[in-house]
Structure 1
Amino acid sequence: MKKEWLQEMKRFCEEESGVGVVEIILVLVVIVGLILIFKKQLTSLVNKAFSNINDKAGTL
């Protein structure tokens, strides 16, 4: 029983088909974390950008 379990764990560790998915999930977690950390700065930047767009749209 223990030998079968070890063989199954070895096969699981050697399989690489899910590595791409794990990498994508990790990248998304990092991006979401950065967004949460810099939320105030990003909100301010986006608000300034839209304010500039609205101001300049009236001049057309």
Structure 2
Amino acid sequence: MLDWIKDQIGDFLREEDGVGVIEVVLILVVLIGLVIIFKKQITTLLDNIFKEINNQSKEVY
């Protein structure tokens, strides 16, 4: 019985299934932080892109 408990504890400590979840969460935190830091620049860039799309679409009509 004691050996079985030792084996179960050892298996639990070696298990790495949660590592992938932690990595994804950390990547999301970094991306959200970058978006917050560069929000003004991203908004300006997207505004310019949509203005250019609208200007070029007017040439088609």
TM range (shorter): 0.7 to 0.9
Partner of 1:27: 27
Question: Please, what is the CA RMSD of the aligned residues?
Answer: 2.0
More helix by share: 2
Partner of 1:45: 45
Report the alpha carbon displacement of residue 47 of structure 1 after superposing the two structures with TM. 0.2
Distance 2:49 2:27 in 1: 27
Report the alpha carbon displacement of residue 14 of structure 1 after superposing the two structures with TM. 3.2
Percent of counterpart pairs with the same letter? 45
Question: Which structure 2 residue ranges, 5 or more long, are not aligned?
Answer: 1-5
What is the total number of aligned residue pairs between the two structures? 54
Which stretches of structure 1, 4 residues or longer, exceed 6 Å deviation after superposition? Answer: none
**Deviation readout 1:3-57 (Å, 9 max, x if unpaired):** xxxx8x8765532101001000000000000000000000000000000000000
Partner of 2:3: none
Distance 1:23 1:55 in 2: 42
Question: Which structure 1 residue ranges, 5 or more long, are not aligned?
Answer: 1-6
Q: Which one has a bigger Cα radius of gyration?
A: 2
| Letter paired with 2:40 | K
